[in-house]
Chains A and B, each alone.
Chain A
Amino acid sequence: MKTKYRFFACLTVFLGFLLSFSDLNEALAKDPDSMKAANFYRGKVITSIVPTKPGGSYDIYARLLSPFLEKYSGAKVVVKNISGGGGTLGINAMYRAKPDGLTIGNLMIAGTAPAQLTGAQGVNYDLLKFTYLCRLTDDPQVFVVDPKSSFKTLTDVIEAKDKVKMAATGTSGATYIGSLALKLGFDIASLDIVTGYQGGQDCNLAVMRGDVSGMVGSVSGRLRNIKDGDLRPLVVFATDRVPDLPDVPTVFEFDVKGERLNSLKAFTVMSDFARVLVASPDIPAERAEFLHLITQKSMQDPELAEFAKKQRLEINYKSGKEVEKVIKEMFAHPPEELLNELKKIM
Chain B
Amino acid sequence: MIEAMLGGLAIVLSWPAIFYMFLGTVIGLFLGVLPGIGGPVILALLLPFAFTMEKVEALTFLLSAHAVGVTGGSVTAILFGVPGTGTNAATVLDGYPMAQRGEAGRAIGAALTASAVGGVLGALTLGALIPVLRPLVLSFGPSEFLMLSVMGLSFLSSLSEGDHLKATVSGLLGLMFSFVGEETIMGTKRFTFGQLYLWEGVKLVPAVVGLFAVAEMVSLLVEGGSIAGKASVSWRGGPLAGAREAIKKWWLVLRCSIIGIVVGIVPGLGGDVACFIAYGHSALTTREKVKFGDGNIDGIIGPESANNAKEGGALVPTIGFGIPGSAGMAVLLGALMMIGLTPGKELLQSHLDITFSLVWMVALANILGVLIMFLVTPSLTRLTIMEGSVLAPAVLIVAFIGSYLSSENIGDMMMALSIGMLGYAMKRYGYSRATFILGLVLGKIVEQNLFLSLRIHEGPAFLVTRPITLFLLIVSVLVLLFPLYRHKIFRKKTDRQPPGMN
Contacts and interface: CB of A to CB of B under 8 A. Distances in A.
Interface of A: 1-2, 4-5, 8-9, 53-56, 59-60, 63, 80-86, 88-89, 92, 121-122, 165, 169-172, 194-199, 201-202, 204-206, 208-209, 211-212, 224-225, 227-228, 230, 307, 310-313, 345-346
B268 interface: yes
B196 interface: yes
A9 B268 CA distance: 34
Interface of B: 27, 31, 40-41, 43-49, 51-52, 137-138, 141-142, 182, 184-187, 189, 196-197, 199-200, 267-268, 317, 321-324, 327-328, 330-331, 334, 337-338, 342-346, 406-409, 411, 448, 451-452, 455-456
A89 B410 CA distance: 12
Contacts of A92: 196
A205 B52 contact: no
A8 B201 CA distance: 37
Given A86-B199, A88-B196, A224 B343 contact: yes
Contacts of B324: 201
A46 B229 CA distance: 49
Contacts of A312: 334, 337-338
Contact of B455 (A194, A204, A311): A194
Given A85-B196, A85-B200, 20 more contacts: A2-B45, A8-B48, A54-B44, A55-B327, A81-B407, A84-B199, A84-B407, A84-B411, A88-B196, A195-B187, A201-B323, A205-B321, A206-B141, A206-B142, A227-B344, A230-B321, A310-B338, A311-B334, A313-B334, A346-B187
B321 A204 contact: yes
Contacts of B455: 165, 194, 196
B323 A55 contact: no
Contacts of B197: 84-85, 89
Contact of A224 (B27, B322, B406): B322
A196 B184 contact: yes
A310 B342 CA distance: 12
A159 B30 CA distance: 59
Nearest to A212: B456
A211 B456 contact: yes
B41 A209 contact: no
A225 B322 contact: yes
A63 B51 contact: no
Given A86-B182, A196-B448, A55 B342 contact: no
A4 B196 CA distance: 34
B267 A205 contact: yes
Contacts of B31: 1
Contact of A171 (B138, B187, B200): B187
A169 B452 CA distance: 11
Among A81, A86, A198, max chain B CB count under 10 A is at: A198
A169 B40 CA distance: 21
Which residue among B45, B197, B328 has the maximum number of chain A CB atoms within 10 Å of its CB? B45
20 contacts: A2-B45, A5-B49, A8-B49, A53-B40, A53-B406, A53-B407, A60-B334, A82-B408, A82-B409, A84-B411, A165-B456, A171-B187, A194-B452, A195-B184, A208-B321, A209-B138, A212-B456, A228-B345, A307-B51, A345-B187
Contacts of B142: 206, 211
A305 to B, nearest CB: 13
A178 B15 CA distance: 49
Contact of B268 (A59, A195, A198): A198
A307 B268 CA distance: 29
B259 to A, nearest CB: 20
Contacts of B184: 169-170, 195-198
Contact of B40 (A54, A171, A310, A345): A54
Contacts of A60: 44, 47, 331, 334
B437 to A, nearest CB: 21
Given A86-B182, A196-B185, A196-B448, A208 B138 contact: yes
B267 A202 contact: yes
B321 A225 contact: yes
B322 A8 contact: no
Contacts of B43: 55
A228 B346 CA distance: 8
A311 B199 contact: no
A2 to B, nearest CB: 8
A335 B186 CA distance: 21
Given A224-B343, A307-B51, A122 B196 contact: yes
A236 to B, nearest CB: 20
A188 to B, nearest CB: 18
B200 A195 contact: no
A59 B44 contact: yes
Candidate in A55, A80, A122, A197 with the most chain B CB atoms within 10 angstroms: A55
A127 to B, nearest CB: 18
Nearest to B412: A84
Nearest to A123: B196
Nearest to B270: A198
A84 B409 CA distance: 8
B409 A194 contact: no
A189 to B, nearest CB: 18
Contacts of A169: 184
Contacts of B452: 194, 196-197, 211
Nearest to B335: A311
B241 to A, nearest CB: 35
B470 to A, nearest CB: 17
A205 B141 CA distance: 9
Contacts of A122: 196, 199
Contacts of B200: 83-86
A80 B49 CA distance: 19
Contacts of B186: 171, 195, 345
A178 to B, nearest CB: 16
A311 B330 CA distance: 12
Contacts of B411: 84
Nearest to A122: B196
A208 B324 CA distance: 15
With a 10 A CB-CB cut-off, give which of B322, B334, B337, B451 has the most chain A CB atoms: B322
Contacts of A224: 321-322, 342-344
Contacts of B342: 224
B320 to A, nearest CB: 10
Contacts of B456: 165, 194, 211-212
B227 to A, nearest CB: 29
A225 B345 CA distance: 9
A337 to B, nearest CB: 20
Contact of A228 (B40, B52, B185, B344): B344
A344 to B, nearest CB: 11
Contacts of A165: 455-456
| Shortest Cβ-Cβ A-B pairs, 8 listed | A55-B40, A85-B196, A54-B44, A171-B187, A196-B185, A224-B322, A312-B337, A310-B338
